[in-house]
Amino acid sequence: MKAVVVPAFGDLEALRVRDWPDPTPGDDEVVVDVMAAGVNFSDLLVIGGHYQVRPSLPFVPGEEAAGIVSSVGKNVDSCRSGDRALVLVDSGAHAERVLAPQSSCFVLPAAMGFLEAAGFGLAFQTAHYALVDRANLQPGEVVLVTGAAGGVGLACVRLAKALGAQVLAGLGSAGKERAALAAGADATIRLSGERLRDSIPDEVRARTGGKGADVVVEVVGGDVFDGAFRSLAWRGRIVVVGFAGGQIPSIAANRILLRNVAVIGLNSSDYRQRHPQWMQRVQRELFALYGKGLLPAEPAECFPLEDAIRALAQLRDRRAIGKIVLTTDRWGQNTLGGEPA
């Protein structure tokens, strides 16, 4: 099969699309013929060797894919060959076939196409853990999402709206406002310029009658984190999800105490490893919201697998809006996807 291969940790430019051995399922595993695979910021970290887990070299990156189950191990009872499915994996999704544990394989709702499905795993699960479990979001609360036009950001905007929140979309780049508003954001907040530690709370207070944000989902780090933290309302919660801007912020504990706020961490892959049943319940809830039309999830941009470098560079260079998806040759021959081939 063809796969994107990382020969050494470093720049994207070293990636090659080349032949790679076909996977064979173990007793509790499935193999999926990939139609489309999601691209995530964490792929950049893994490829650069900056992620908390470093796969042994060479390896195939990619953490989520959608396609057709082509073979299953003898203990697998949650899906069968021929099923349309989404899988989440630690690596290996940017290929024509991917191996996944059955616990991370989800049969798709009939109405969901492969392109949608390829971007419906990691970002929406992260949004769900952040808003529901970590932040305990309540209907009517105000949520500020940073990096709101990115993969996780747009998923947070959509899910927070579906859960009845008022949503402020924090954006650092010009030209992304339309996507955030179309996803349901009530207003945008500027995350670029000087003195973000003052300008972000000023804007958030102006939008909320002086109250501030009950919940912040923070994916950027650095000065954006500082400003977002200062935007919190009384008893607000800020969920630390990522550092796409490259700077890990620090915070003096007295500021948490003085303002009666909570700083909460999220590591979504940890839920998958520690508590697969929890992840499965979350995915079922997300599919149910999708079924009610509350979570449209169409990818913004598709690239053929061969163009993986260009696709990943969109995220690296902050040009991506929403999800980026890689498609395989099988996608072109697809008749089961729900979208025109």
Which residues here bind ligand NAP, judged by CB under 6 A?
Answer: 40-42, 45, 122, 126, 147, 149-153, 171-173, 176, 191, 219-220, 241-246, 266-268, 315, 318, 320
Nearer to ligand NAP, 76 or 145 (CB): 145
Min separation Cβ 74 and ligand NAP, Å? 32
User: CA-CA distance, 15 to 19, in Å (whole number)?
Assistant: 13
Q: Which is nearer to ligand NAP, 126 or 327 (CB)?
A: 126
When the beta carbons of 146 and 327 are compared against ligand NAP, the nearer one is 146
Question: Considering the complex, what minimum distance in angstroms separates the CB of residue 123 from ligand NAP?
Answer: 6
- Closer residue to ligand NAP (CB): 72 or 315: 315
CB of 29 to ligand NAP, least distance (A): 23
The residue among 12 and 68 lying less far from ligand NAP, judged by its C-beta, is 12
CB of 324 to ligand NAP, least distance (A): 8
Cβ-based burial of 109 (10 A; exposed 0-12, middle 13-18, buried ≥19): middle
Residues 70, 113: Cα–Cα separation, whole Å: 18
- The least CB distance from residue 27 to ligand NAP, in Å, is 29
The residues pairing with 131 across neighbouring beta strands, listed in sequence order, are none
Copy the structure tokens of residue 200: 């972000």
Q: Which is nearer to ligand NAP, 270 or 329 (CB)?
A: 270
CB of 172 to ligand NAP, least distance (A): 2
Minimal CB distance to ligand NAP: which residue?
150
Query: CB of residue 170 vs ligand NAP: minimum separation in angstroms?
Result: 8
User: Closer CB to ligand NAP, residue 209 or residue 246?
Assistant: 246
Cα–Cα distances in angstroms (integers) from residue 322 to residues 112, 132, 157, 228, in the given order: 17, 21, 11, 21
Closest to ligand NAP by CB, 62 vs 242, is: 242
* Burial zone of 174 (CB within 10 Å; 0-12 exposed, 13-18 middle, 19+ buried): exposed
Largest alpha-carbon pair distance within the chain?
Answer: 60
Least CB distance to ligand NAP at residue 21 (A): 28
Provide the minimum distance between the beta carbon of 59 and ligand NAP in the complex, in angstroms, as a whole number.
18
Residue number with CB closer to ligand NAP (31 or 149) = 149
Nearest alpha carbon to residue 87 among 329, 327, 272, 315: 272
